[in-house]
Amino acid sequence: MMGKIPARVASLATAEFSPRFEYGHMAQSSVITGKGGDGTRLGSGFVRMKKAEIPWTIKYDEVILVLDGQLTVRTADGDLVAGPMECIWLPDGTELTYIAEDALLFYAIEPANWAEG
C-alpha cells in the first residue's frame, strides 16, 4: 500500500467543484481527501447544493458541517436541520434524503473507499 500524502492546507477559495454522481445538477463537490490513492481512510471535501432533494442510503459514517445556508436531512426518525456552523452526524446505513435550497457544506466520511466494497 502506498504511504499517505503529506499534510497540506485545503482552501475553499481554490476548490474545484464537479458534479456529484447522477445528482450533478443539484450537488457539486470538491474532494480534499480520500481519492486517488492518497493513503487515508478519511474522505473529506466541500459540497455545494442548490434546489437539492437527493435520496441516498449512506454506506459510511458521515459528519456534515454547514458552512452557509441550511441543510435538512430527512430520515425515518424525523428531519435533522442544521444552519451555519452546525453539524449533522449520520451513522453507516442511514436511509435519508438531503434537502437544501442553497447550501455550502463540508463533509467527512469513513471509510473513504466505501464504493469499492
pLDDT in tens, 23-75: 999 999 999 999 877 889 999 999 999 999 999 999 999 999 999 999 999 99
Q: Which CATH class is domain 19-116?
A: mainly beta
How far apart CA 44 and CA 84 sit, in angstroms, is 18
The pLDDT tens digits of the residues spanning 63-83 come to 999 999 999 999 999 999 999
pLDDT at position 12: 95
Measured CA distances, 25 to 18, 33, 52, 61, 74 (Å): 10, 23, 8, 25, 20
* Spatial separation of the C-alpha atoms in residues 11 and 32, rounded to whole Å: 9
Q: Where exactly are the structural domains of the chain?
A: 19-116
Joined together, the cell numbers standing for residue 81 give 436541520
What is the model's pLDDT at position 115?
84
Residue 24 confidence (pLDDT): 92
Which pTM was predicted? 0.92
CA atoms of 72 and 80, how far apart (whole Å): 6
